[in-house]
Structure 1
Amino acid sequence: MSLAALNKIDVTVSLAADVVAAIEIQPRVRPPLARLFAGKQASLLLEVLPRLFALCAAAQQTALLCAIETARDQVATRTTEQHRIALIVIERIADLLRGLFVGHVAQDIASAAAIRVLMRRMSALLGSAQPAWGSAQCEETARIVAALNALGMSNEGDAVRPGSPLALRIAALDEIDLKSIPAGHSFLSVADDLNIIKRLLVDGATFCYCPDLDGHVPETGPWARRMTRYRLSPSPTGAAERLRARIAEALRLCAWLKAGAQIDSAEHGIIERYKLGPGRAAAAVECARGRLYHAVELDPQGRISRFEFLAPTEWNFHPRGPLVRSLLGAVLTARRRRDAVDAVIASLDPCVGFTLKFREVGDA
């Protein structure tokens, strides 16, 4: 069993006359990687790390590998860099699609067989990725795109075919969408990397459990990337908009793979490295749920003397983060309260399981 399966997030929503008065988030217990890795040879950790994470294994391994290489003053070749980016993109598409289909159209029996075939194709594509992206991978990606089209995902922007299971799900989310108090939005980006990495190495686990950027807690993930990439206004917002962002991103990334996975047209900041001093470095990787950080210090023998990591879930499920901002002040009738809150949590896609409780309090 992976370490991620051993922890969860506990969410308690306090209601006053059907209005969300407060949200309490008990964060997950983070896997004790800093303690497990201390004193170990870096090469050993690179083999072990993918087995510790059921989700985003390629992203986790790439982040650690890039941080270690940078600490050692090693530079990856262009072919190696292309291969790593392609792996990150394929894994990201697979995770986005898994969230779309398992979380939103799992009850659609008519689509079940096609979805299973599609996910097998994604797994095969991930396994077949070679250092040099070739015509075989482009052709397989084209077949995946055709399968997505058949399931109702259109190549035209983020549209879905009317009447398709995804279109019906978006309509249902619009129907139960929360009318919460308008809140300011901010989004994590590559521009924040150095600030975050410095905090990682100064404050360590304290920062990782409750991160912030000068007091604010930005959102990270597909919707945040979409808002930043196209400089869009974050209005409207909600579970339906985050679902649309997932659809649009999966199609956009498939188009990049289909066109040959060229490094020059890769997404800005998808893998970044930072040299911090002798034997010290960090890396950031843009994975399905958002921006992932690894920072390492190596001793003269190449062993890990310090390791810190920060996953996207710590931002999105922060006590003052995007989940809280999406819910606070919303009106929740007894009939729809669980479905509505579940939809918001699912739209932020935590990397671990969660529990949800409601309690009644005094007037707001």
Structure 2
Amino acid sequence: MKADQIRIHLSQNKDRSAAVSVSWPRSEAERLFIGQPVAQAIAMTPLLFSLCAQAQSLAARLVLQQAGGQHATASDEQRATLTLEAARETLRKLLLDWSQAFDGAPAAAEWTAQWRTAQDLPALRKLAEAFVYGEDCQHWLQRGEDGWQAWLKQGASAPARWLGMLGQAQPGCALLPPLGAGMLADNLADWLRPGGPVWQGQAREVSALAREAEQLPGLLQQGLYPRARLLARLLQLARWLTGTQLQASAARLPDGALALVDTARGPLLHLAALDENGRISRYRVVPPTLWHAHPEGVLRVSLGFLAAASDAEWQRQISLIDPCVAYSVSKETEYA
């Protein structure tokens, strides 16, 4: 999907105090669905949303079925496809973006070649066990927090080394609790605030860290949010590769329906309503990045703490938060 960049601006005073502002003037491509029949909108979805196309397509199918009066549920096959997409995307991030952010270059060509040819979970698991974990995924999952700390200190893989580099404490946002479509349908107003989504009045972090927080209490108590954020992504990947599937659900609203679909970056929300002719009268998409780019969200909180850091460190921290669109950074120093 073509969208405007997230805009991040740092204003630094002579006394080294700084303020960070974040905005995302998102282009709402889903407006093209208005007036369209259901089948047309479903066909258009993967063309408009190329990243996480399977998740976007499943959300569109579920919300439009539910809005049309059906009881929409995701099949095991659909959830398996959703999970495969998330696993492939996470490995792509590891091999390309996070390798670039931590090591200054993408992973070696032999690794990226394996990723391109890996089209199912067994092939992705083989790649992950070699590049990411250095051991069997299931064994790695069973280590627990103390075992993961010992593993990263050994530095036996590139991601283990990266985790060892993330030893600085910094502030973090409150975490979004686990939600299903039914619970969200009863508490939807905050999520749809014009200034950006919130939950119980707070901007939240919605990433894998929100789903894996119970596994990482020590890191969170120490304020090691960057380390916890990356480790949570590795935990999620290992779970998907050993049989856990992402969730998707739908619920009816008084004036339409919603669908909530998990993705690698966080929850994806679609809302829709149909007119008396069965055509779409309202459609809205709330992607995880609207939470990341909230004016009081995780990008602002994390980067405000790093105001005096290098550009490379800023890029590393933004990459860990993992917005789904490009971003631009501008800085100014005030001497008044």
Q: Same fold (TM over 0.5)?
A: yes
Determine which of 284, 289, 303 is the counterpart of 2:279: 303
Aligned residue type for 1:232: P
Change (3 A) 1:60 1:313: same
Number of residue equivalences: 316
TM-score, normalised with respect to structure 2: 0.84
Q: Residue 145 of structure 2 aligns with which residue?
A: none
Relative to 1, partners in 2 of residues 1:19 and 1:171: Cα closer, same or farther, differing over 3 Å?
A: farther
User: What displacement does 1:225 show?
Assistant: 1.4
Q: Report the Cα offset of residue 294 of structure 1.
A: 0.6
Quote how far apart the aligned CAs of 1:66 are: 0.6
Aligned to 2:320: 347
Q: CA deviation at 1:185?
A: 2.1
Does structure 1 residue 85 correspond to structure 2 residue 79? yes
Question: Which residue, out of 181, 184, 188, partners 1:193?
Answer: 184
Identity of matched residues, %: 23
What is the aligned partner in structure 2 of residue 226 from structure 1?
212
The 5-angstrom pairing of residues 122-141 of structure 1 reads 124-125=119-120, 141=121
Cα contact 1:188–1:291 (8 A) shared by 2: no
CA distance in 2 between counterparts of 1:283 and 1:328 reads 34
**Offset of residue 215 of structure 1:** 2.8
Determine if contact 1:14/1:22 at 8 Å carries over to the other structure.
Answer: yes
Q: TM-score, normalised by structure 1?
A: 0.78
Task: Quickly say closer, same or farther: Cα 1:184–1:10, change in 2 above 3 A.
Answer: closer
In structure 1, the partner of 2:45 is 49
Question: Does the CA-based 8 Å contact 1:173-1:343 persist in structure 2?
Answer: no
The residue number in structure 2 matching 1:166 is 159
Listed as ranges, the gaps of 5+ residues in structure 2 are 142-147
Of stretches 210-219 and 184-193 in structure 1, the one that deviates more from structure 2 is: 184-193
Name the amino acid aligned to 1:33. E
**For 1:15-52, what per-residue CA distance to the aligned partner results, in whole angstroms no more than 9, with x for missing partners?**
34685521111313223322x11111011010011011
- Consecutive unaligned residues of structure 1, counting only runs of 5 or more, are 126-140, 258-265
Compute the displacement of 1:341 (Å).
1.5
Q: Which of 241, 262, 279 does residue 254 from structure 1 map onto?
A: 241
Which digits, 9 at most, give the CA deviation of each residue in 1:155-184, with x for residues without a partner?
Answer: 21354662422223233343xx4x54x455
What does 1:104-123 correspond to in 2, within 5 Å?
104-106=98-100, 111-121=108-118
Offset at residue 11 of structure 1 (A): 0.6
RMSD between aligned alpha carbons? 2.7
Cα distance in 2, alignment partners of residues 147 and 223 from structure 1: 23
Paired letter, 2:89: D
Matched, 1:237 2:231: no
Residue deviations 1:296-343, cap 9 Å, x none? 1111221001111111101111110111222334462xxx42122211
Q: Secondary structure at the match of 1:242?
A: helix
Which whole-Å CA distance do the structure 2 matches of 1:231 and 1:162 have between them?
A: 19
Residue 145 of structure 1 is matched in structure 2 by 125
Structure 2 CA distance for aligned equivalents of residues 244 and 305 of structure 1? 42
